[in-house]
Structure 1
Amino acid sequence: MDTKNNNIDVSDSEATNLPEDTVAEALPPRPTSVEETGLSPLYLADLISRQLFEQGVLDLHQLSRSSALAGSVVEAICHQLRREGRAEVRGQAEGGALRFGLTELGRVAAQEALARDGYAGPAPVPLEAYTARVRAQALSDAGISRDRVMTAFGDTVIDPALLDQLGPGLHSGRAMFIHGEPGTGKSYIARRLVRLLPGEVLIPHAILAGGKAVRCFDPAVHSPLAPVDGEGEAASLLLAQGHDPRYVRCRRPCVVVGGELTMARLEVQYDSATHIHQAPIQLLANNGMLIIDDLGRQRMPPMELFNRWIVPLEERRDFLALANGYHFSVPFDVALVFSTNLDPLSLADAAFLRRIGYKIRFAPLNQDAYRQIWALQCRESGIPFDSTLVDFVIFELHARLGVPLLACHPRDLLGLAADHLRYWGGEAPDREVLAWAWQTYFGDFSESDRAGGDGNTSGRNAS
């Protein structure tokens, strides 16, 4: 396996290597009336009030862009606010559009609205509409063929038999458990699996549940295919086609979490300072992938983490709660991938592991694959390839010292060799440089170092 560029965000650029498909279903139409938004006039009035409170005086065009609502809807809500004495006309913009600002009564009402729900972004979509949208663009309808799998990994050194396990696993939509020694390329390949997810999806800016907006679109996770603010040729074309701008056209998401994962991130997040609800990571990953990397390194017992997934995996829906205790369910359409360096049986019992359909082991490389990765890494690093040096590393270092051939070693050893050449000068490494890189990479720890000290305090400063 080629392990170069381990930190690449495959949810963004990697997916472009395959032809783009279109959204499985027709784009949702843009609502032209308050009723068609699926939101109550009261909620929309509070949303517009919050935007005016935070942004000041705005004209109808500005309000339409910030709320992602049609001008006819915004105009109706603004007239409602005027009738209630919460807003007033503040003249006209250059284009002739009316400008609106809050009255003193409106500012008080807006502050009360912000205390109830601090969200002031694009209008949310109702929970029912979100549920229907997730089901319309389900992973199970995407279809993944063997040809697509081989094409997606055509530039990667990986055993085809391993791909023939990963492909059906992703196609099935069942959870996958990837395990093996550190450095075998598990995380790298797992992240690149997003290449296999065809098509595009619509992600709402927020969903409305229990009268509260739950922020769903996250630019750190989702990769838009058109400008998010409604500007630009691509976005204008979608609006002309009647696209509802409350949704953002994105590639299928890929969310990766590791040792930093906590149980709290699997529930709706609530910021008590801003009064804003944020979707949990599995909701952000809907219609895409969620990779739990470094399983067993989290700050909770693995079984506690596993137990959190039992119901979503079996029922394909997740149960969440808002800060006020309101409970609701959302579809769980996520390709869930667990990746670990630890023994699977040390993390979970056999009964739970049976619930995970695909257990895939990543093993050390054979010599031919190691040479291929070494050659690719040389080309990537601008280092001349020398087959005799690869044999030196394989037979004189790996074999003699009993170190397995792992996919990460060519990148790491050649990286250290390049550092040496830049420091001392030189165009290509030799055996001496590679031996230095090996010793620097693996260290030279004595038995006393491993035990935490040499037991000899002579020569140490007393404290």
Structure 2
Amino acid sequence: MTTDQSMSAAVSAEGVQRSALEGLRTLAPRPLTLDDTGLSRHFLTELLIKHLYDAGLLTSKKLMQRTALAGPVLEGLIEFLRKEVLIDVHGQGFDNRELSYGLTQRGRDVAIDAFARSGYLGPAPVPVERYRELVRAQSVHGSKVTATSLNRVFESVVLRDALKEQLGPAMNSGRAIFIYGPAGTGKTYITQKLTGLFDDSCLIPYAISVNEQVVSLFDPLLHQPIEEAIHTPSLLFDQGYDARFVNCRRPRVVTGGELGMDMLEIHFNPVTKEFQAPLQLKANNGIFIIDDMGRQRATPMEIFNRWIVPMEEKRDYLTLGAGRHFQTPFDQILVFSSNINPLDLADEAFLRRIGYKIYFGYLERDEYAQIWQQVCAEKGIAFDPGLLEFAISELHARRDVALRPCHPRDLLGMAQDRVRYLGGDAASLDAQALTWAWDSYFVSLDAEVEMSPSPAAGRRNDHV
């Protein structure tokens, strides 16, 4: 690339960046007055006092970073706290340019009382009313999936066209999706790649406020912030979009057998005195995948019944305890995945509410061969057509084991493990190594009979 081309690319990237910033500013403008925040002065002064109690001394800049409040808002709060003799000035900071603030004894007493009511210590929250508006404005259903985008995401994935033709419209439908089929047919892998269909971002609040009760929402384990030069300290925290939000990739929340009904409700920690948002709230504007449906701690009908109202009304109802209910948006693509027949999990009345039921079955020979070749390339194994034919004809066919997408990776990986152990060339596998991997991978029928507690339980079946 020439110097001119490099400069042109840099200018183009800067233009895209500025355009993105303008979009975020429009979506969530930076509050420059107390009224703009949607929060009361009493609430915000208590939040500042708690931060000062936690840190000791803080400059205005550090307080802005901790609370995500702009300078004009913060200056008014500091002035009020000084008049109320809750904070005092401790001279210049370490850089000899900024004043530092600390609590008076009265301020410390107020902080202790504030922590007794709420342990939240973070950026200022966003009122739930503002959160509802923002979720609607950046709805995941506004990002349409096309055949081109779907083919791009699954370009290197062996997935038959019939499944693509179901998945694409399902993602655009705004309705829940039920993916089912035998174990090992790629359901989990495919569903988790669906978020790749969305290459845009959304704003996630650090926390929301419900009648000034704070519910933490941003989760660094689930939300992936987008690194951006447009949100830099040079903006002095007074420009750009509302710093109470984090610009993230659209969420992808995945849960499996560990799911319990408590994880779908607001959790209150009595020790820290903090409220934590449930999974579906963290998944808003993204995708929520419930994997291994039917194997959760809660019964299938308990979980399904929990979704009837959100699926139909596109809103959820949560409680903070003591009968304090509030409404939140339900803006997400809800995906159920199971290797159990849907009719064994839910009644027809509920299944009618799910728009798409997509079956993932076993592979054809050519599909299995494509995956086999891909795995060989990934693992640095020399592709041997004879070894592939041996696996299909001698191992799978003779033992009547269906072809599944998981088999090539598992069998070739285990065969490599053995070759490495014996000091051989892991790039070259033979039928002996593959047979050893097969015998180690599948449950031994003879061992099954020996371990069976009764003759009835010892019937010979094919188990993986």
Question: TM-score when scaled to structure 2?
Answer: 0.90
Segments of structure 1 that go 5 or more residues without pairing to the other structure are 1-18, 456-463
Q: Which amino acid aligns with 1:153?
A: F
Aligned to 1:422: 420
Shift of 1:353: 0.5
Find 1:396's aligned residue among 394, 397, 403: 394
Aligned to 2:329: 331
Contact 2:39 2:212 in 1 (8 A): no
Structure 1 residues 137-152: aligned runs within 5 Å: 137-152=138-153
Shift of 1:234: 4.3
Aligned to 1:55: 55
Contact 2:317 2:325 in 1 (8 A): yes
Q: Quote the Cα distance in structure 1 between the aligned partners of 2:233 and 2:380.
A: 44
Q: Which amino acid aligns with 2:163?
A: L
Q: Which amino acid aligns with 1:64?
A: M
Task: Write out per-residue CA displacement over residues 296-337 of structure 1, whole angstroms, 9 at most, x where no aligned residue.
Answer: 000111000000000000000000011443210010001000
Aligned to 1:84: 84
Shift of 1:217: 0.7
Shift of 1:84: 1.6
Q: Which amino acid aligns with 2:168?
A: G
Q: Quote the Cα distance in structure 2 between the aligned partners of 1:348 and 1:449.
A: 37
Contact 2:118 2:273 in 1 (8 A): yes
Shift of 1:249: 0.4
Percent identical residues:
48
Aligned to 2:355: 357
Q: Quote the Cα distance in structure 2 between the aligned partners of 1:92 and 1:181.
A: 67
Aligned to 1:202: 203
Q: Quote the Cα distance in structure 2 between the aligned partners of 1:146 and 1:419.
A: 39
Aligned to 2:36: 36
Aligned to 1:274: 272
Find 1:287's aligned residue among 274, 285, 288: 285
Aligned to 1:409: 407
Contact 2:184 2:404 in 1 (8 A): yes
Q: Quote the Cα distance in structure 2 between the aligned partners of 1:42 and 1:449.
A: 72
Task: Write out per-residue CA displacement over residues 430-459 of structure 1, whole angstroms, 9 at most, x where no aligned residue.
Answer: 01110000000003132534524799xxxx
Structure 1 residues 84-233: aligned runs within 5 Å: 84-93=84-93, 94-226=95-227
Shift of 1:226: 2.6
1:251 aligns to 2:249 (yes or no): yes
Q: Which amino acid aligns with 2:48?
A: I
Aligned to 1:7: none
Q: Which amino acid aligns with 1:202?
A: L
Contact 1:296 1:302 in 2 (8 A): yes
Task: Write out per-residue CA displacement over residues 240-260 of structure 1, whole angstroms, 9 at most, x where no aligned residue.
Answer: 752111110001000000000
Superposed structure 1 runs of 4+ greater than 3 Å apart:
19-25, 232-241, 452-455
Q: Which amino acid aligns with 2:252?
A: C
Secondary structure at the residue paired with 2:445? coil
Q: Quote the Cα distance in structure 1 between the aligned partners of 2:192 and 2:37.
A: 36
Contact 1:222 1:250 in 2 (8 A): yes
Contact 1:210 1:326 in 2 (8 A): no
Q: Which amino acid aligns with 2:296?
A: Q
Q: Quote the Cα distance in structure 1 between the aligned partners of 2:233 and 2:278.
A: 31
Secondary structure at the residue paired with 2:144? coil
Q: Quote the Cα distance in structure 2 between the aligned partners of 1:111 and 1:319.
A: 32
Shift of 1:116: 1.3
Contact 2:52 2:58 in 1 (8 A): yes
Task: Write out per-residue CA displacement over residues 95-137 of structure 1, whole angstroms, 9 at most, x where no aligned residue.
Answer: 5322111111111111111121111101111111111100000
Contact 2:179 2:358 in 1 (8 A): yes
Q: Which amino acid aligns with 2:435?
A: A
Aligned to 2:440: 440
Shift of 1:233: 5.9
Secondary structure at the residue paired with 2:254? strand
Shift of 1:56: 1.1
Q: Quote the Cα distance in structure 1 between the aligned partners of 2:413 and 2:332.
A: 36
Closer/same/farther in 2, CA of residues 234 and 383 from structure 1, 3 Å limit: farther
Contact 1:181 1:362 in 2 (8 A): yes
Q: Quote the Cα distance in structure 2 between the aligned partners of 1:266 and 1:233.
A: 35
Q: Which amino acid aligns with 2:142?
A: D
Structure 1 residues 303-322: aligned runs within 5 Å: 303-322=301-320
Contact 1:413 1:434 in 2 (8 A): yes
Contact 2:288 2:335 in 1 (8 A): yes
Q: Quote the Cα distance in structure 2 between the aligned partners of 1:312 and 1:252.
A: 19
Question: TM-score when scaled to structure 1?
Answer: 0.90
Secondary structure at the residue paired with 1:397? helix
Contact 1:139 1:288 in 2 (8 A): yes
Aligned to 1:460: none
Contact 1:223 1:250 in 2 (8 A): yes
Q: Quote the Cα distance in structure 1 between the aligned partners of 2:297 and 2:230.
A: 46
Moved more, 61-70 or 22-31: 22-31
Shift of 1:36: 1.1
Task: Write out per-residue CA displacement over residues 249-304 of structure 1, whole angstroms, 9 at most, x where no aligned residue.
Answer: 00100000000011001001111111111110000000000000010000111000
Aligned residues: 433
Task: Write out per-residue CA displacement over residues 56-94 of structure 1, whole angstroms, 9 at most, x where no aligned residue.
Answer: 110111001100011221121111112222111111222
Contact 1:226 1:235 in 2 (8 A): no
